[in-house]
């Protein structure tokens, strides 16, 4: 068990379980709560079957008593997390956990799901961790982001980039859709992991859309991994300076085709550094994400270029697989004339500058964390 003395005049302490590192959102909690807090992170919350959950409850009850805990914060930020989902009975959902823990101590959930910003629910607070950490340049030293550079050039020389790490189904489906396009080898595209058994369904991912046999065979024929041209570090943009946009791929490309971590209700809704980076790098973003992501970003003051990128059309498509195909078809249309993309980007320079200014503004940062308290 670990406590962090934050240096405040109060005796407020933030504790967590099992000696997991306390950095990250602990700084935000410390600035918003003046009481003893038990900070439960994804290390404590994920994949608990009923037997393991009972053991965790006992550990939490003991900590509440020993450390005089007044508030439990269930931190569901950072990755998509459906607060209601229980893996079809294999685990307990976060909302169920919260309901039980509220019997021992006041308990809240903080989540990246933007629906809770406009439709607040008791004890569930919105906090866009993925965007907030990227927007706040003053966190550079606190989180040891020595390799992070928050700026790059606005002049672009290439039309399109798309980086992919973990092989979620929508990234594989996008690859299937665009791999044989005439322009595919001319863009900055990476997929740094091998296919492995990602196409084999398991008992915990049955909520994902399925692939046809033809799609499976086509994907198996693609030689993975695919790395950026001239790339020395195979994990460029993901490890070691993962937050930085001071890399050739961001300096060069006008459009960033962002394959967010999730596009489905399961595993949930969140926007990560993947969405932050095109804003930081003066790029036009095309998001492959959950329905409503672009509208939420626009509502909080980020220009999503709806006069150029027809996201309002594909955001009416409920079927996740069909929505990805619609986006891929639009990208194919754009790539028929790469020079026109660069011309459009040049015309959008004033708006791209305003976007970046808005993203790094104090007002925007305050908006992202306003509901925590």
Structure tokens at 113: 């799901």
Q: Sorting pLDDT into bands at 50, 70 and 90, what band is 239?
A: very low
DSSP letters, 287-334, are EESSTTHHHHHHHTT----TTTS-HHHHTT---HHHHHHHHHHHHHHH
DSSP three-state, residue 73? strand
Task: Say if strands 158-164 and 253-259 run parallel, antiparallel, or are unpaired.
Answer: parallel
Q: In angstroms, rounded to a whole number, what is the distance separating the alpha carbons of residues 211 and 218?
A: 11
Q: Which residue has the tokens 């918003």?
A: 32
Instruction: Output the CA angle 246-305-82, nearest 5 degrees.
Output: 80
The two beta strands, 158-164 and 124-126, are: unpaired
Greatest pairwise CA separation for the chain in angstroms:
65
pLDDT of residue 16: 87
Q: Is the pLDDT of residue 260 over 60?
A: yes
Average pLDDT of span 107-135: 93
The span from the CA of 328 to the CA of 294, in Å, is: 17
Q: How large is the average pLDDT for residues 214-239?
A: 79
Report H helices in 189-292: 213-220, 248-252, 273-280
Residue with more model confidence, 45 or 336: 336
Strand order in the sheet with 188-191: 188-191, 158-164, 253-259, 284-288
Give yes or no for residue 163 having a pLDDT over 60.
yes
- Rounded mean pLDDT of 306-320? 96
Give the mean pLDDT of 99-126: 94
Torsion region of 232: left, alpha or beta (phi above 0 gives left; psi -120 to 50 gives alpha): alpha
Task: Give me the torsion for CA of 229, 254, 178, 180, rounded to 10°.
Answer: -50
Residue 296 has pLDDT above 70, yes or no: yes
Residue 142 clears pLDDT 60, i.e. is over it:
no
pLDDT in tens, 2-25: 344 334 444 578 998 876 655 568
pLDDT in tens, 321-363: 999 999 999 999 999 999 999 999 999 999 999 999 999 999 9
In the chain, the percentage of residues whose pLDDT exceeds 70 is: 88
Q: Give me the pLDDT at residue 207, please.
A: 63
User: pLDDT higher for 116 or 210?
Assistant: 116
Q: What is the pTM for the complete model shown? A: 0.91
Residues 83-109: tens digit of each pLDDT: 998 877 778 899 999 999 999 999 999
Whether residue 251 has pLDDT greater than 70: yes
**pLDDT of 244 strictly over 70:** yes
């Amino acid at each position: 068990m670990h406590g962090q003395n934050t240096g405040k005049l109060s005796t407020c302490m933030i504790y967590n379980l099992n000696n997991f590192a306390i950095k990250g959102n602990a700084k935000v909690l410390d600035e918003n709560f003046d009481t003893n807090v038990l900070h439960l992170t994804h290390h404590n919350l994920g994949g608990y079957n009923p037997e393991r959950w009972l053991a965790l409850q006992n550990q939490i009850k003991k900590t509440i008593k020993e450390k005089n805990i007044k508030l439990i914060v269930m931190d569901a930020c950072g990755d998509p997390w459906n607060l209601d989902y229980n893996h079809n009975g294999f685990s307990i959902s976060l909302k169920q956990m919260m309901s039980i823990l509220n019997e021992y101590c006041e308990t809240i959930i903080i989540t990246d799901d933007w629906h809770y910003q406009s439709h607040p629910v008791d004890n569930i607070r919105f906090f866009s961790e993925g965007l907030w950490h990227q927007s706040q340049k003053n966190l550079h030293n606190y989180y040891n982001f020595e390799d992070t550079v928050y700026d790059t050039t606005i002049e672009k020389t290439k039309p399109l980039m798309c980086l992919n790490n973990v092989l979620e189904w929508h990234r594989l489906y996008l690859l299937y859709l665009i791999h044989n396009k005439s322009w595919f080898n001319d863009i900055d595209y990476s997929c740094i992991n091998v296919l492995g058994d990602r196409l084999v369904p398991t008992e915990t991912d049955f909520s994902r859309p399925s692939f046809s046999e033809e799609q499976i065979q086509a994907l198996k024929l693609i030689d993975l991994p695919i790395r950026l041209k001239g790339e020395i570090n195979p994990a460029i943009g993901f490890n070691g300076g993962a937050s930085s946009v001071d890399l050739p791929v961001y300096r060069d490309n006008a459009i960033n085709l962002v394959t967010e971590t999730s596009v489905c209700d399961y595993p949930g809704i969140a926007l990560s550094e993947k969405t932050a980076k095109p804003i930081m790098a003066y790029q036009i973003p095309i998001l492959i994400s959950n329905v409503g992501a672009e509208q939420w970003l626009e509502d909080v003051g980020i220009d999503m270029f709806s006069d150029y990128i027809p996201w309002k059309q594909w955001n009416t498509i409920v079927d996740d697989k069909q929505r990805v195909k619609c986006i891929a078809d639009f990208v194919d249309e754009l790539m028929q004339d790469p020079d026109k993309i660069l011309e459009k980007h040049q015309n959008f320079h004033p708006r791209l500058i305003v976007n970046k200014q808005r993203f790094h503004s104090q007002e925007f940062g305050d908006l992202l964390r306003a509901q925590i308290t």
